[in-house]
Amino acid sequence: MQVTLYKTPNCQACRATARMFDKKGIVYDTINLDQHPELLEQFKSIGHTQSPIVVAGNKSWSGFRMGRIEALANDIFKPQG
């Protein structure tokens, strides 16, 4: 599953999300929203108004969400079959 962390500089919630992804073994790409203002406007238009914004497969959320991170890790690492 493709996971992308959209962050802003000096964002504590962004750093906390990245740390939890690392701790849970979630592989992700990082994109700095300051370098892509068009993405920021796109996310705002669908209701994501705080950083970070996480897009994982067809799901997304904004802000530090421990429950969603845990659910994502469970989805990624659940046994197949």
- Per-residue model confidence (pLDDT) at position 78: 85
- pLDDT, one tens digit per residue, over 5-59 is 999 999 999 999 999 999 999 999 999 999 998 898 899 889 998 999 999 999 9
Q: How many domains, the chain?
A: 1
The CATH number covering residue 59 comes to 3.40.30.10
Give the structural domain span for 54. Answer: 3-77
Q: Cα separation of 77 and 81, whole Å?
A: 12
Q: Cα separation of 63 and 11, whole Å?
A: 10
Is the per-residue pLDDT at 81 higher than 70?
no
Reported pTM: 0.91
- Per-residue model confidence (pLDDT) at position 37: 86
Is the per-residue pLDDT at 80 higher than 80?
no
Place of tokens 């904004």: 62
